[in-house]
Structure 1
Amino acid sequence: MATHIFIDGEAGTTGLGIRRRIEAVADRHDLRLLSIDPSQRKDPQARRDLMAQADITVLCLPDDAAREAVALGQDTGTRFLDASTAHRVNPDWVYGLPELDATQPERIRKARFVSNPGCYATGAIALLRPLVQAGLLPVDAHVAINAVSGYSGGGRTMIEQQEQAGGPAFFLYGLNLQHKHLPEMTQYSGLTRNPLFVPSVGHFPQGMIVSIPLHLVSLPGVPMIEDVTAVLKAFYKDAKTIRVMESEPKLVAETMAGRDDMELRVSGHSGQALLTACLDNLGKGASGAAMRNILLMSGQDIA
C-alpha cells in the first residue's frame, strides 16, 4: 500500500531537498507526494485537508509555525515528521536519529511524532554519545564544540546575501552561546552540562565540519587516541550512513556536500585529541536524514 506524504513548507531549502529525494525513489518505495496549490500554502483549511489525506506530514516550517501545524492536524490521524527545532527535546516526540542506539529505528517506525535532528547536533551527538556511554567522557565534562557550515543552512535570506552580494568569507554567530541546537546536543549526547558551542558560516553553499577538542590526559583512565577511535568504530560498526575514517592532515568542509552520509575522525597526539564529523548540512544534516525517517515511518528498510 502506498504511503502518502504531504510536505508542509515544501518551497523552502529543506522541503525542496526532501521532495527531490522522495521523487527519486517514489516508485521503488511506493511513496506518493501530496502537493498544495502555491496560492493555498498559508490556508489552514487547505493544509489540514492534505494532512487528513497524508500518512505522513513533514513540517519544514519555523518553530512556531510547526507547533501551530501540529495543533492544526492533531485530530486528522496523520503522523508528523518535524524538521524544525520545536519538538526535538519534547518527551512525546521520538528523536529521528536512527544511529542513536539499537532500538531507535524501531521507535521511529512506530512513532506518530518524530523530530528530525539538527545539522550541528547530528555531528556533535555522533561524536559524543559513544564516548559518554563507554565512560570515556564523564557526563558532567566541560566540552567545547566548534563548527562551520555552508551558508545554505541559513535559509533563503542568507543564501541570497551570499550569492548576490558575495557575502563574507567567514563569520561567527550565536555569540550569546545559546544556539537552538544546544538542548538536543546535551540531551542526546548524554551530557548533563551544556557544551560551549561556537557555530560559524563559510562562503560555500553546502558542507559542514563539527569539531570537538579533548584533553585526554584530563579524562578518567587517561584514554589514548586509539581507545577513542575503537569506541567510535564499535558503536558504528553496523551503521549504514556513519563511518569512522582514518585521520587526515587537513579537512575540507565541502567534502561531503551532496551526500547523505557522515564521516567521523579522531586526530591528535600526546594526550590531546580532536574529534571531527564531516557531513552535508542539507543532506545528513537535514533532508537526507528526513528521507531515512520517512522510509522508517513507512515501514521500510533504510539504506
Structure 2
Amino acid sequence: MTHTIFIDGEAGTTGLEIRERLEARDDLELILLGDRRRDVDARREALNSADAVILCLPDEAAIAAVAMIDNPRVRVIDASTAYRVAPGWVYGFAEMGLRQREAIAFATRVSNPGCYPTGFIGLMRPLVQAGLVPTDWPVTVNAVSGYSGGGKAMIAEFESGAAETKPDAFRAYGLSLKHKHVPEMTKHAGLERPVLFSPAVGHYRQGMLVEVPLHLSALPETPSIERLHGALVEAYERTRFVEVVDLDETEAMTGIDPEGLNGSNDMRLHVFGDRDGGQARLVAVLDNLGKGASGAAVQNLNLMLGLDEGVGLDK
C-alpha cells in the first residue's frame, strides 16, 4: 500500500531534510506543489487529500494550516512549537514512555519535539519518574547546537564567507530566559518549576550537546551516578534509537563531539561524574536535524502509518 504525504513547508531546513528522507521510498508518494506552494487553494487541496501531512512552518502558519484541514482522516505531524504543550496533541518523542509509541501510532495530531527538548527530556524525565530528582527541583540545562538550528537566515550568516560579517565562533543566546522551548521541556520532563535554559550556537553546521549539571549531594536521596545511570538504562533498554553509554566507557572519555551522531536518528546519553563524588554532568548527543527534527518526524510518520519505526532511518 502506498501512502500519500504532503510536506507543507518543504523548502525550509527541516522540510528539505524530511523530503530527502522520504522521496526515495517506494511505499510513499509525495504530493509536491512546486511553484504552486504559495497558492492557498492548492495547499488546501493537498492538506485535505494526503494520508498524512507534515507541517514545517512557523507557529502562526502552522496554526493556519491546521485550521484549513477539514478531512478527519488526515493525520498531522507539526514540527513547529505551536502544539507541543497543547491539549489534544500527542508529543512525538516515541521513547519518552512505555505507551508513547502506541499513543503516537493512534494519534491524528502529533507535535514533533524540539531538538534541545529531546536531549533534555531524554536525560531528565526518567530521573524525575524514578524519584531521584524532585518535580520542584531547580534544574539548569546548558546546550550548544550547530548553526543549522537557526534556519535559513542563520545558515546564510555563518556560511557567507564575508570577512566583514564573520560570525561568532560561539554565541550564547536566549538571554531573556524566555526561550520558546522552556514550557515543552518543563512539562514533558515532569517538572513543576520552569527550567533555566542556557542555549548557544557554535560555528559548525549541525549536531548538538545538551547538558544537565546536578549537585547530587543537594538532592534528597544523594543519588550516586550509578543510580542515575541505572534509571536511564532501565528507561531506554528496549529502545532502538536511544543509547545509554556504559559508565566505564564514559569515564575513559576526555572530550565529547557534538557532531558525532550527524546524519542519524540516534541519541546517546552519558552520565559523567566521580563515582565517589557529589556532582554529575548528564550529557545528550544528537543531530539537531536528525533525532532533533526530521528524523523524529519520519519516525513518528512510520508509527502513524503502521510501519516499522525505523523505515528510512536505520543505517
TM-score (normalised: structure 1): 0.97
Q: Name 1:12's counterpart in structure 2.
A: 12
Q: Name 1:32's counterpart in structure 2.
A: 29
The one-letter code matched in structure 2 to 1:262 is: M
1:293 aligns with 2:300: yes
The one-letter code matched in structure 2 to 1:126 is: G
Tell me the C-alpha RMSD between the 2 structures: 1.0
Q: How many residues are treated as equivalent by the alignment?
A: 299
Q: Name 2:22's counterpart in structure 1.
A: 22
Deviation at 1:70, TM superposition (A): 0.3
Deviation at 1:254, TM superposition (A): 1.3
State whether residues 186 and 195 of structure 1, in contact with CA within 8 Å, keep that contact through their aligned partners in structure 2.
yes
The residue correspondences of 1:172-187 to structure 2 (distance < 5 A) are: 172-187=172-187
The residue correspondences of 1:258-269 to structure 2 (distance < 5 A) are: 258-269=263-274
Q: Name 2:109's counterpart in structure 1.
A: 113
TM-score (normalised: structure 2): 0.93
State whether residues 51 and 76 of structure 1, in contact with CA within 8 Å, keep that contact through their aligned partners in structure 2.
no
Deviates more, 1:279-288 or 1:49-58: 49-58
Deviation at 1:257, TM superposition (A): 1.5
Q: Name 2:258's counterpart in structure 1.
A: 253
Q: Name 2:145's counterpart in structure 1.
A: 149
State whether residues 212 and 275 of structure 1, in contact with CA within 8 Å, keep that contact through their aligned partners in structure 2.
yes
Write out per-residue CA displacement over residues 67-116 of structure 1, whole angstroms, 9 at most, x where no aligned residue.
00000113464111000000000011000011011111111111110000
State whether residues 44 and 72 of structure 1, in contact with CA within 8 Å, keep that contact through their aligned partners in structure 2.
no
State whether residues 48 and 70 of structure 2, in contact with CA within 8 Å, keep that contact through their aligned partners in structure 1.
no
Query: Gaps spanning 5+ residues in structure 2: where?
Result: 311-315
Matched residues in 2 for 1:7 and 1:52: separation?
12
The residue correspondences of 1:33-182 to structure 2 (distance < 5 A) are: 33-38=30-35, 40-75=36-71, 77-164=73-160, 165=162, 166-182=166-182
Matched residues in 2 for 1:74 and 1:202: separation?
42
4+ residue runs over 2 A deviation: 74-77
Matched residues in 1 for 2:308 and 2:74: separation?
21
The one-letter code matched in structure 2 to 1:153 is: G
State whether residues 140 and 195 of structure 2, in contact with CA within 8 Å, keep that contact through their aligned partners in structure 1.
yes
Matched residues in 2 for 1:277 and 1:105: separation?
21
Matched residues in 1 for 2:128 and 2:204: separation?
33
Matched residues in 2 for 1:159 and 1:37: separation?
23
The residue correspondences of 1:148-227 to structure 2 (distance < 5 A) are: 148-164=144-160, 165=162, 166-227=166-227
Aligned residue for 2:256, secondary structure, equals coil
Q: Name 1:281's counterpart in structure 2.
A: 288
Instruction: Determine what percentage of the aligned residue pairs are the same residue.
Output: 54
Deviation at 1:300, TM superposition (A): 1.0
Deviation at 1:268, TM superposition (A): 1.2
Deviates more, 1:98-107 or 1:75-84: 75-84
